[in-house]
Chain A
């Protein structure tokens, strides 16, 4: 349980640091922060084994960190430095750390879902005990390739877990402007995969519970779909809040702020008698790690001009 808090806090504090960087004008890229949504990444990852593989989207920082991705390489990548996980050529929307099983991130909505299906196909063909997990948002289910992926995984009984982070908005459009209902899982059900909708996926313990039972099924080659309802607290991209834009109300946001993943878990800590000083210790430890990563990233060399044309292939 402390590990869950630690992992969520690590994501939050890293993204707070990115907020500082944005405000200081250091980042020349659209960062998509997952502040508010940390419990989904951490809860699902807690149910996985190290050899399991994940793919993610433009909002990938949380998944990268929760899967164990290297913080220094992440920070360097976001600054466009040569030491970044993609040598500066992928950027904030393509973070990956293959060594820990985060295979790739891709911002073209829904595209990476199909990679997870392909990974799962490969695991099954090789007879390996691994599963693939695709993280994506509610907008992704409006793309045809999501349904193509679901269909293929179902027909071929592939070890793949689909995790839809339903935060109600695709950029600035509410889900009911785009889909017939807020409930995505019910529309997935007829595809012959196991489904579960987590109404409050800011409750990390609930996410762990659902993910663990779903992962068990996935390991038996029964693909599963989790709809994890959560809420993005920052802009679609950028470091600020965006209540002033008027596409969503502060009242709606307050309801989700009340379900803060940290507050929910702190309550459990209190019940279990875990002292708050434990959290302070974690915070201190993580801040030290972040300081080191910041120093690494800032001091890292710029990519050389020849990188422009290297590894093009074709």
Chain B
């Protein structure tokens, strides 16, 4: 039964809907992962698919991240469209060989013969107390490798559309949702039908005073900051990056040519990261338009502390965005 799309739904439920619609659309789509069928069903996202399609297409698996990735690649080489789910992106490091040495390279190394339509869905699972191996945000590591796409939805509309784009793309795609609130439970109007989000960055707010590029949940910080900044007569242009690879830099270049100022806000570390990459590209392609040095708000180069008393100082905040913008203007 069609959902009433005049009612808003959460980011979490939008992704749930994408999984269901992908499986309805194409019987070659199947889901697998650790605990996908259990009582919590990956934060609730997989349970509806399990209830509808059962264990033959929603496969609970052993704890074998590297192996599972290889099984999914094998199935993809046979024309299936597997969606491999890891409850935290930290766990994906166990599968680096299969993701990067294998999945990302097989199309190239086969002279274009093989397609690997594999989707890896995972989560930045940031919550207090999760610490060094359950809450990191590793998108820049994954985006380093040619041959694999990497996306981070920052809205309910994109949580659905980007996941559908990933599942029906013929290359391996990593989608990292962000489980922290106020994003995961945030409600928005989301089209009920099937749609895909293009592999482009997204100008969410138009402005002329400064370009703010956001990654994942930092869009929420930027939008909150925007309200306060507008009151002070500062009108930023806010661009949600959406995809780290392919990286759609053109709208950012155009924006910087207009504003002359660049701030990048990322959920990952600063060194050797997507924020480094964006600043480098803008330096290469729009240097003469920059009126001040680009700035970045990222995690400090330290692991995530578990303590609830330290962790709030670790992540980018709305206040930090306001402060840096005011310093730059």
Cross-chain contact A123 with B74 (CB below 8 angstroms): no
Total chain A interface residues with beta-carbon distance under 8 A = 44
With a CB–CB cut-off of 8 A, which chain B residues contact A111? 70, 97-98, 101-102
Q: Is A8 in the interface zone, CB < 8 Å from B?
A: no
Do B109 and A114 touch (CB < 8 A)? no
A125 touches B80 (CB 8 A): yes
A87 to B109, CA, bound (A): 8
Is the Cβ of B70 less than 8 Å from the Cβ of A89? Answer: no
Choose among B68, B108, B110, B116 the residue that contacts A96 (Cβ–Cβ < 8 A): B110
Q: Is the CB of A314 within 8 A of B149?
A: yes
Per-position 1/0 for A129-166, Cβ under 8 A of B = 00010000000000011001101100110000000000
Query: Roughly how many angstroms separate A314 CA and B261 CA in the complex, as a whole number?
Result: 29
CB contacts under 8 Å to A, within B136-193, are: 145-149, 170-172
Q: Which of A78-127 contact B (CB under 8 A)?
A: 84-90, 94, 96, 98, 103-104, 106, 108, 111-123, 125
Are A145 and B66 CB-contacts (below 8 A) given A89-B109, A90-B111, A104-B110? yes
Determine if B278 is an interface residue (Cβ-Cβ < 8 Å): no
Is A88 a contact partner of B74 (Cβ separation < 8 A)? no
Q: How far is the CB of A255 from chain B (nearest CB, A)?
A: 36
Q: Does A275 contact B (CB under 8 A)?
A: no
B71–A90 CB distance below 8 A: no
> Across the interface, do A115 and B77 meet the contact criterion of CB distance under 8 Å?
yes
Which of A108, A121, A311 is close to B107, meaning CB atoms less than 8 Å apart?
Answer: A311
Cα distance A151–B67 in the bound complex, in angstroms? 10
The docked-state distance in angstroms from the alpha carbon of A314 to that of B109 is: 14
Let me know if A313 is at the binding interface, CB within 8 A: yes
Complex Cα distance, B78 from A122, in Å, reads 7
> In the assembled complex, which residues on chain B have CB atoms less than 8 Å from the CB atom of A112?
70
Q: B residues 59-77 with Cβ under 8 Å of A?
A: 59, 61-62, 64, 66-77
Q: Which residues of A contact B71 (CB under 8 A)?
A: 114-115, 117-118, 121, 149, 152
Decide yes or no whether A1 CB sits under 8 A from chain B.
no
Which residues of A lie under 8 Å from residue B147 when comparing CB positions? 312-314
Q: How far is the CB of B167 from chain A (nearest CB, A)?
A: 16
Interface: B79 (CB within 8 A)? yes
Closest 5 pairs (CB-CB, A-B)? A118-B74, A114-B70, A148-B67, A87-B111, A311-B112
Residues of B within 8 A of A (CB): 30, 56-57, 59, 61-62, 64, 66-80, 82, 97-98, 101-102, 104, 106-114, 116, 145-149, 170-172, 245-246
A sample of 17 inter-chain contacts (CB < 8 A) reads A90-B109, A90-B111, A98-B113, A104-B110, A108-B101, A118-B78, A121-B71, A148-B66, A148-B67, A148-B68, A312-B108, A313-B104, A313-B148, A313-B171, A314-B147, A314-B172, A314-B245
Q: A106-B101, A145-B97, A314-B245 are in contact. List 11 more A-B contacts (CB 8 A).
A: A88-B111, A104-B106, A111-B102, A145-B67, A151-B62, A152-B61, A311-B112, A312-B107, A313-B108, A313-B148, A314-B246
